Amino acid sequence: MELKVPDGTLSPVIKVDGQGAVLTLLDKASNGGEITGGTHSGVYLVNQASFIMNGGKIANNKRSEDTSTDIADVDGDCFLGGGGVEVKNSAFTMTGGTITGNTVTVESIHSSVHGGGGGVYVDDNSTFTMTGGTITGNTVTVESIHFIVRGGGVYVHDNSTFTMTGGTITGNTAENISSSASGDGGGVYVHDNSTFTMTGSTITGNTAGNGGGVYVYDNSTFTMTDSDITGNTADYVGGGVYNEGEFTMTDSDITGNTADYVGGGVYNEGGIHKGKFTMTNSTITSNTTRGDGGGVFDNAGEFTMTNSTISGNTADCVGGVWSIGIFTMNGGTISNNSEKCSYGDTIGNVSSDNISISGSPNITGNFSSDDKNIVNVYLFGDMVDMVSVISALGQNAKIGVTVENPPTEDNPRVPIAKGDGYTLTEANVANFVSDDAQYKVTFDGGIIYLEKRSENDKTVTFDSQGGSAVSSQTVTVGEKATKPTTDPIKDGYDFGGWYTNKDCTDGNEWNFDTDTVTTDITLYAKWTETTTPEAPKFTVTFDSQGGSTVNPQQVEKDKTVPKPTDPTRNGYTFDAWYKESACTNKWDFGTDTVTENITLYAKWNDNTSPETPKFTVTFDSQGGSTVNPQQVEKDKTVPKPTDPTRSGYTFDAWYKESACTNKWDFSTDTVTENITLYAKWTEKVTYPIIKYYTVTFETNGGSEIANQTIASGKTATMPQTPTKNGYEFLGWFTDEDFNEVYRFATPVTEDITIYAKWKSDDYIVTFDSNGGSNVTSQTVENGKTATMPQDPTRSGYTFLGWFTDEDFSEVYRFTTPVTEDITIYAKWKSKSRSSGGGGGGSSSGRTGTWVKEEPKTTQTIVQPVIQPEPATQYETVKQGCPRNETCPLFKFTDVDRWAWYHDGSHYCVEHNLIVGTTNTTFSPNMPITRAMVVAILWRIENNPLVNDVVSFQDVKENAYYTEAVRWAAHNGIVSGYSSNVFAPNDNITREQMASILYRYTQYKNKDVSGRADISNYQDRNEISNYALTAMQWACDAGIINGMSTTVLSPKGTTTRAQVAQMFKEYLEEQ
């Protein structure tokens, strides 16, 4: 089922108004649910209404109104929202389905006009709950210099709530055509005290000017948990997220986003609204920008990260985090980010006015991508004095530092860290490292400094060889290193001192009391494996009490005993092991443990016990099939035998007596003597089975006739006679070929279909030869075409063709279906060049070639070439071209401007779709190449540029078709013979032409559902598999016709003139 607004109306497809009003859209698979074509949204909810979307589609609706009227209605302020869905003070629930292809488009010159929510607009205390489905391919577009557009996919406004616990928001766009306009929130825009919550969901592949994925404005909030914002693009700021409100992410990822200006992953705006961004156990990775802040750009806001990771991001300046607001890092990692520094010296990969750290943060391994130098936290001399440590740092905390103004002779040390509510100690020197090896980290008076290393400063490095980390020391030559206050720890090992060699051999131990430092040195921790005293063991002896020998075992105290192999004894069966010889208490090998020397005793069962008596159970089937007797041990149950059978009866059960009073229970009843069991039977009652069959009426285009359900052997009822416009009903037939009339007196014994036969009304085509020889009129069946007759003759005149009217304004096409009586008129040109009735003209003429569709099958007829002279009205064609020097084809010497191909070639040259092969030749009959066709489509699209690398090795750079092929491959219009072969200079075949136009039509979001019946073409099996659907569509659309009634020629080539005519008809149809 498709719900669609009629053309020319201005309204939603569905409007749900009022409290308690609820509408549910089911899955398209069950009822074909689709809401499409709305000109004021597809679904419009108002006044506490509800809508439930369990599947189906809301597609290709729009908001595009008379904006001048809208502005007048609201005193100069206008908002257009919700191309697909508009929710006002109502509730929308989406559990599945797709909201796609919807648009909001406005043309306005008023700066107060704005709008958004190409897919969904949620407004005025409304709720939108999304647990599945997809919001994709929706667009908000502006075509003025002031219009503001927001939320290509979703716009949440005015105290509203959007909750997303599943599904995807992808491929949406908030687009500004004018560079001075604003396009915010390609996927989602949240505004005016509203809330957006996403859990286990994805926002990906969206595009906007700011906030490619998400834009959060003023006092609104956005919370994401276990979710992804990935692969979004901002033309200006905030590839993944632009935040001015409060944004919280937990166990989530912002990855692979791009911004052209700043904030590849996140842009956090302070300004008036003081944006707050908090991330916990999350990642911001692999984002990029050509400007500043590859991972994060915090512009005077607050940015807090806890146990999170920012890595692999790139920027021209500051690959990781650039904050000119408040930056707090509670543990976590910032690493492997890079900056290019294309316009000056490096300014680091973490740069902040106010950076505070706690826990075990790690900011190391960031670098400049040009020289690969390590550049981590960058401290500006005129901005940031020091890193603030707000609580105790963990042993593994490590912060790499670069300063704008390094130590000098006049200023020998530069402060880099201080305590803020926490007092630093000398042990914190180990938490900081200079990115530049010529400086060292020192401590004095609660402050961490960078100092220039002197020649006498040597580094003592402690390699704990797998143990806990120990901080290095800077020691003056000749001085003693300080023994670390705490020995390192390594599980399973004992620390054995510090040694000067890695193998820690005897004689190389460092003596902190006497040894002095003379050069940079590394000391190595010695470890010995920890040994524990061996646990006591006890002997477990096995007394098999007459059985085979079982060896004793040694078992550790408090351990269980491995169970030995069972012993054997003739005439006995082994039972188990017991704790005493009387075999009273069984030993449990799974739980019992050894606390002393013990002996376990075997218990045996005698195999010579007397045989259990058996009894015979006999089965009396009482007229049924034989059931064999059984021998059953005393006090055992009887195995249930296979049920007996008896013609005309149904077996019930076995009973204890022949009267069948007490049923025998095979699961509980036991045998104590010889017994007989008796079968009970129930006589079968047979009811006649009546079958029903369906009689289907195929009206072959006529009015619908309901099916009939007929009992077997009964007859169908002759229905009311169907009707079909322009046809006479001839009766019902048993087969599609109408070989046998159906008799309604015939009994129905199976499902059947009967077929309506029609006779088309006939029409008369009259040929007015206008003074020429007589041409016989034709009787043509309704919808069929007339046959072109032999050309008439007229003394002194040249026949120019058949026209639809007496004024010869339009040529009659014999491919036009005849649906009424018509008269067509012969046009003549005088051979004496004098003007006169019936149309005079030049006597000049030559034999031309009329090509039906392809160059491989042609018909040669006399096609006069009229010299360009502004003589009479008949020399003006349908487009009004006089075919003289004003015609765009005039400059081409090889073009017959009166040929069949003039209109298409005129159109394509005039619109710059096809150019000449030289300045003076058009080459109309030359086969056209694959590259030429792609170039035409590219020109139709105004020569768009894309940045993809062309994978086809035979497409040369800077060829006339290079950018066209790049664009077409990027949009899936061409795919080449393989991933690296395009063959641009191959002549294009008819099936290739159909396939390219088919994909181009899909790219333009146009209908490609038509399918022609090509079964009458004898060469249809020559169509390649990939091109079959495209050829059926192209034939249905009239773009490609057969070479004859039975030849389609899919592998045939196409000339430039034929392609020009195809494109003219294709583009005018579109």
pLDDT tens track for 4-37: 444 433 456 687 766 555 676 654 333 347 899 8
Q: Give the model's pLDDT for residue 22.
A: 61
Strand pairing category for 858-862 and 847-851: antiparallel
Q: 694 has which bridge partners?
A: 709
What pLDDT, on a 0 to 100 scale, did the predictor assign at position 877? 39
988 and 946 housed in the same domain: yes
pLDDT reading at 352 higher than 90: no
What is the Cα–Cα distance from 149 to 155, expressed in whole angstroms? 10
CATH number assigned to the domain comprising residue 656: 2.60.40.4270
Q: What is the pLDDT of residue 873?
A: 28
Q: In this structure, are residues 936 and 913 in contact, taking their beta carbons and an 8 Å threshold? A: yes
- Laid out side by side, the sheet with 822-830 consists of 778-781, 762-768, 822-830, 797-803
Q: 555 near 545, Cβ under 8 Å?
A: no
Residue-wise pLDDT tens digits, 936-977: 999 999 999 988 888 899 999 889 899 999 999 999 999 888
* Residue 2 in this model has a pLDDT that exceeds 60: no
What count of residues does the chain have? 1070
169 in the same domain as 38: yes
Interatomic CA distance for residues 1005 and 101, integer angstroms: 9
In a domain? residue 508:
no
Under DSSP, the state recorded for 184 is: E
Which of the residue ranges 10-19, 77-86, 293-302, 805-814 has the most confident prediction, judged by mean pLDDT?
293-302
Q: Are residues 588 and 737 in the same domain?
A: no
User: 59 with 166, same domain?
Assistant: yes
* Contact between residue 280 and residue 309 where contact means Cβ atoms under 8 Å apart: no
Residues 125 and 188 in one domain: yes
Residue 874's pLDDT is: 27
525-582 per-position pLDDT tens digit = 999 988 777 788 999 999 999 999 999 999 999 999 999 999 999 889 999 999 999 9
Are residues 997 and 1032 in contact, defined by beta-carbon separation less than 8 angstroms? Answer: no
Alpha-carbon distance values, 807 to 770, 828, 875 (Å): 12, 12, 11
- If pLDDT is split at 50, 70 and 90, which confidence band does 931 have? very high
| SS3 state of residue 279 | strand
Together in a domain, 9 and 152: yes
Strand partners, 573: 605
Does 193 share its domain with 51? yes
* Residue 1000 forms part of a structural domain: yes
Of the three residues 760, 781, 813, the one that is the final residue of a domain is: 760
* pLDDT range class, residue 198, cuts 50, 70, 90: very high
pLDDT at res. 471: 64
* 930-940 vs 962-970: helix crossing angle, rounded to 10: 70
Residue 477, both tokens: 């030559």
Cα–Cα distance measured from residue 239 to residue 243, given in angstroms and rounded to the nearest whole number: 11
- The model's confidence at residue 836, banded by pLDDT at 50, 70 and 90, is very low
Q: What is the pLDDT of residues 461-520, one digit of tens each?
A: 888 898 876 667 778 889 998 888 778 888 889 999 999 999 999 999 999 999 999 998
CA contacts within 13 A on the Cβ side of 996: 28
Per the CB < 8 A criterion, the answer to whether 300 and 327 are in contact is no
Last residue of a domain, one of 589, 606, 623: 606
* 631 burial type by CB count under 10 A (0-12 exposed, 13-18 middle, 19+ buried): exposed
Q: Over pLDDT 70: what percentage of the chain?
A: 87
- Radius of gyration for the alpha carbons in the chain, expressed in angstroms and rounded: 46
- What's residue 20's pLDDT? 59
Tell whether 172 is covered by a domain: yes
Split at pLDDT 50, 70, 90, the class of 830 is confident
My answer on whether 156 and 32 are in the same domain is yes
Q: What is the largest CA-CA distance in the chain?
A: 143
CB 433 within 8 A of CB 416: no
Average pLDDT, the chain: 85
Look at residue 704 and tell me if it is in a domain: yes
Q: What residues pair up with 402 in beta bridges, in sequence order? A: 378
Q: How far, in Å, CA of 319 to CA of 373, rounded?
A: 13
167 domain residue, yes or no = yes
| pLDDT surpasses 90 at 769 | yes
- In the prediction, which pLDDT does 38 show? 84
Beta carbons of 458 and 518 less than 8 angstroms apart: yes
Q: Give the pLDDT confidence of 104-157 residue by residue, as tens digits.
A: 987 655 555 677 899 999 999 999 999 999 999 999 987 665 567 899 999 999
- What is the Cα–Cα distance from 202 to 228, expressed in whole angstroms? 5
Name the token pair of 338.
Answer: 């890079």
Cα gap 128→436, rounded to integer Å: 54
Q: Is 591 in the same domain as 739?
A: no
Domain closes at, from 717, 740, 760: 760
For residue 465, being part of any structural domain is answered with no
Amino acid at 890: F
For residue 800, what pLDDT is reported?
82
Domain co-membership, 579 together with 710: no
Least confident of 489-493, 716-720, 797-801: 797-801
**Residue 8 is assigned to a structural domain of this protein:** yes
pLDDT value, residue 474: 78
Beta bridge partners of 824: 767
Structural domain boundaries, residue 634: 614-683
Token duo for residue 150 = 């927001």
Beta carbons within 10 angstroms of residue 353's beta carbon: 14
Nearest to 908 by CA among 876, 877, 945, 935: 935
The answer as to whether 513 is a domain residue is no
Residue 679 near residue 654, CB atoms below 8 Å:
yes
Residue keyed to tokens 């919280």: 248
Nearest to 277 by CA among 328, 206, 336, 353: 328
Long-range contacts of residues 953-959, Cβ cutoff 8 Å, at least 24 apart = 953/980, 953/981, 954/980, 954/981, 954/982, 954/983, 954/984, 955/982, 955/984, 959/931, 959/984
CB 346 within 8 A of CB 321: no
Query: Can you tell me which residue has the tokens 């632009």?
Result: 242
The SS3 assignment for 131 reads coil
Whether 724 and 658 share a structural domain: no
> What is the model's pLDDT at position 181?
46
Mean pLDDT value of segment 661-690: 89
Say yes or no to pLDDT of 382 above 60.
Answer: no
The confidence band for 209, taking pLDDT boundaries of 50, 70 and 90, is very high
Q: How many domains does the chain have?
A: 5
Reported confidence tier of residue 898, pLDDT bands at 50, 70, 90: confident
Q: Read off the tokens for 653.
A: 């059960």
In degrees, rounded to 5, the angle at the alpha carbon of residue 446 between the alpha carbons of residues 441 and 448 is 20
Where do the DSSP E strands lie in 819-936? 822-830, 847-851, 858-862
What does the angle CA 420 – CA 421 – CA 422 come to, to the nearest 5 degrees?
85
Same domain for 58 and 140, yes or no, is yes
Please give the pLDDT value at position 5: 42
| Average pLDDT estimate for 830-857 | 33
AA letter at 806: E
User: Which structure tokens are listed for 792?
Assistant: 């008439």
Short-list 771, 1020, 1058, CA closest to 903: 1058
CB 197 within 8 A of CB 166: no
* Per-residue confidence band for 180, with pLDDT thresholds at 50, 70 and 90: very low
Residue 869: pLDDT over 80: no
The residues facing 509 across adjacent strands are 499
Cβ neighbours, 10 Å, residue 229: 33
